[in-house]
């Protein structure tokens, strides 16, 4: 058997076993879901603390270069951050909470107006040929029903949020210790790796730090930029609840391709309760913001951190969304980047070892 056939056979087997694992995971998902939720509750604070550590690390390094000790640099960064957070809590949180409260109070009226909007659209659809009309009617019914379920579910799940509040409240403390003791943590992790594998592990760590760290920082800057521009647009269009709606638009921008569409839907639905003209204006604003993000902000902020083919991203989104919903959509691309970096470096090392021999 030739080397080319062996290589393709290996790839086919890898694809087959990957699909088999995904299929088995899907079959056993009802059994694994409680365990997955528990692991997620424990993992989210760790992931968020690592995320914030990545964001704050450049500021810590800047202060260290300015002759501050590591401990002092971390304390200065956290004191400045606490001042910003305190200002946001003092002036930003009350406005945001008031808008969320108003949204919850007016939710039944919004849902009733959505039903009325669906009835009007159904009347227009009824004038189409029967097979086409039936297809569009079923799609609209599903869309409205799922939107209503999501809106009601978001409000009802607030009763079960205490454990998440406790978990998230640990994030600042965990971030502080990750930044303060990052070198000791790194040394401890390296000491667990066999000496002949350490160079390989350090290469993976450096590549992950460079590419994944840049990707995370870039995505968060994009979230902030899109949320800010969206708030300005919604405020100028006089859309109610502009602050939470723009936050949703910014957060959903993390999901490639479909994220901006999903993030704009709540604003479109709220506009639909006012007038159809406003729906058009909100849709146009969302489209312009997406074009601005795709062709100006993303290339400028992200650079070459996200070197992933669009077709691969679409497949990742399908698999991630099927396995873990919104969380899967958000984590699919970063996890792929981690795995691809590890595989690429491993294969490069094997190739070099083969050349040396």
- Higher per-residue pLDDT: 189 or 156: 189
> Would you state the pLDDT for residue 232?
92
φ/ψ of residue 238, rounded to 5: 60, 40
> Would you state the pLDDT for residue 76?
92
Q: Would you place residue 233 in the very low, low, confident or very high pLDDT band (cuts 50, 70, 90)?
A: very high
Q: Whole-structure pTM over 0.95, yes or no? A: no
CB crowding 21-43: b at 16 or more within 10 Å, else e = eeeeeeeeeeeeeeebeeeeeee
* Torsion region of 238: left, alpha or beta (phi above 0 gives left; psi -120 to 50 gives alpha): left
E-only strand ranges, 208-333: none
Q: Would you place residue 202 in the very low, low, confident or very high pLDDT band (cuts 50, 70, 90)?
A: confident
> Would you state the pLDDT for residue 140?
56
Measured from the Cβ of residue 199, the count of other Cβ atoms closer than 10 Å reads 10
Q: Is the pLDDT of residue 353 over 70?
A: no
Q: Would you place residue 230 in the very low, low, confident or very high pLDDT band (cuts 50, 70, 90)?
A: very high
Question: pLDDT for 303-321, tens place per residue?
Answer: 555 566 667 777 777 777 6
Instruction: List the structure tokens of 239.
Output: 């859309």
* Torsion region of 69: left, alpha or beta (phi above 0 gives left; psi -120 to 50 gives alpha): beta
Instruction: List the structure tokens of 148.
Output: 């209503």
Closest CA to 308 of 216, 225, 222, 215: 215
- One DSSP character per residue, 284-316 reads HHHHHHHHHIIIIIHHHHHTTS----HHHHHHH
Question: pLDDT for 5-49, tens place per residue?
Answer: 666 676 677 667 777 777 777 677 677 777 777 777 777 788 778
Q: How far apart are CA 339 and CA 53, in angstroms?
A: 21
178, 49 in Cβ contact below 8 A?
yes
Question: pLDDT for 182-191, tens place per residue?
Answer: 888 877 877 8
> Would you state the pLDDT for residue 229?
92
Sequence-separated (6 or more) residues with CB below 8 Å from residue 127:
133
Q: Is the pLDDT of residue 156 over 60?
A: no
- Higher per-residue pLDDT: 200 or 270: 270
DSSP code, position 67: T
Which residue reads 């209503």 in tokens?
Answer: 148
φ/ψ of residue 267, rounded to 5: -65, -40
Sequence-separated (6 or more) residues with CB below 8 Å from residue 267:
230, 234, 239, 245, 248, 249, 282, 286
């Amino acid at each position: 058997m030739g080397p080319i056939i062996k290589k393709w056979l290996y790839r086919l087997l890898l694809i087959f076993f990957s699909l088999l694992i995904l299929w088995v995971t899907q079959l056993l998902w009802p059994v694994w879901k409680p365990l997955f939720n528990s692991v997620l509750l424990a993992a989210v604070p760790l992931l968020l603390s690592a995320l914030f550590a990545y964001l704050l690390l450049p500021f810590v390094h800047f202060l260290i270069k300015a002759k501050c000790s590591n401990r002092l640099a971390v304390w200065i960064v956290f004191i400045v951050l606490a001042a910003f957070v305190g200002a946001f809590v003092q002036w930003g949180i009350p406005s945001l909470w008031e808008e969320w409260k108003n949204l919850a109070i007016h939710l039944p009226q919004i849902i009733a107006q959505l039903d009325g909007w669906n009835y009007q659209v159904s009347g227009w659809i009824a004038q189409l040929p029967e097979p086409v009309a039936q297809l569009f009617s079923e799609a609209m019914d599903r869309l409205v029903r799922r939107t209503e379920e999501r809106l009601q579910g978001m409000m009802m799940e607030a009763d079960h949020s205490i454990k998440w509040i406790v978990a998230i409240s640990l994030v600042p403390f965990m971030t502080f210790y990750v930044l303060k003791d990052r070198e000791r943590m790194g040394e401890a992790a390296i000491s667990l790796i066999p000496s002949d594998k350490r160079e390989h592990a350090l290469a993976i760590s450096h590549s992950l730090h460079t590419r994944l760290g840049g990707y995370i920082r870039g995505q968060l800057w994009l979230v902030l930029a899109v949320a800010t521009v969206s708030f300005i647009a919604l405020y100028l269009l006089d859309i109610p609840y502009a602050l939470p709606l723009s936050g949703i638009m910014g957060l959903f921008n993390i999901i490639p391709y479909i994220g901006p569409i999903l993030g704009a839907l709540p604003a479109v639905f709220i506009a639909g309760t006012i007038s159809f003209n406003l729906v058009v204006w909100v849709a146009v604003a969302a489209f312009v913001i997406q074009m601005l993000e795709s062709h100006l902000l993303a290339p400028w902020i992200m650079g070459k951190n996200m070197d992933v083919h669009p077709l691969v991203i679409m497949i990742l989104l399908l698999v991630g969304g099927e396995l873990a919903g919104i969380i899967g959509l958000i984590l699919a691309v970063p996890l792929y980047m981690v795995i691809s970096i590890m595989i690429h470096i491993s294969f490069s090392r094997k190739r070099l070892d083969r050349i040396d021999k």
